[in-house]
Amino acid sequence: MCGRYTRYLPWSEIHRLYRLTAPAEIGRNDAPRYNIAPTEDVPFVTAGENGNHRLREGRWWLVPFWAKEAPKFQLFNAKSEEADSKPSFRDAFKSKRCLIPADGFYEWTISPADKKRDPWHIFLPEHRPFSFAGLWAYNSTLDITSCTILTAAASEPMKQIHDRQPVILDQSAYDAWLDPATPVPAAKQLLDVNLGGQLQFYRVSRDVNATVKDGKPNDSQHMIDPIALL
């Protein structure tokens, strides 16, 4: 599962992952984000023209193209094992695959001491930027562009804290994953070309648990700072 993630490195650092050509994409420099939550608008990357990549923005909570209203059930994650056959995801899996730039995400365990949720910040070595494998859709009835993050069964070391993890694609798989012409069986195989075995993590403040504080987004840099475990 992936219910929150971070994107705090400058866009120039993330930009090297993709072949973006439009001036607005090349010069982009989003403010750092430390606690991105479902339903917020996020950037994602799709196939572009002439073999390049295109930057889009949409709601992190998939709204299928056929939906008459925004779904109430959780569609911010999609299980990679079944996304190609589930009605909410199968059309997107066939031809609207995307990459979602990030540099970390959160997962939670339950504290034995007080039974409250303890957040962990999870990242690649040197906190280098990466891409979640995702799906996207455009719903013309509601005029909503949206996306979702694919997940898979956790491997080591992630299975130490959770049984699911987001699919983080190796850069070598980007082009084939984004290409609408890649057949569904081949696209599913690409999900095995991932960086899940490289993940690292440490405990962070429970401040992460709230997305809003005093009526404002709860999104500050200290949320990714490690805390000492007693």
Q: In this structure, are residues 103 and 25 in contact, taking their beta carbons and an 8 Å threshold?
A: no
Select which of 25, 98, 107, 147 is catalytic: 107
Tokens of 114: 């007080």
The label of the residue with tokens 């910040």 reads 121
Residues 161, 85, 171, 33: is their CA dihedral positive or negative? negative
| Catalytic site includes residue 147 | no
| Catalytic site includes residue 126 | no
User: For residues 166, 153, 171 and 76, what is the CA-based torsion angle, rounded to 10 degrees?
Assistant: -30
Q: Which one-letter amino acid corresponds to residue 75?
A: L
Select which of 2, 25, 98, 147 is catalytic: 2
Q: Does a cis peptide bond (omega within 30 degrees of 0) precede residue 101?
A: no
Which residues are catalytic, by number?
Answer: 2, 107
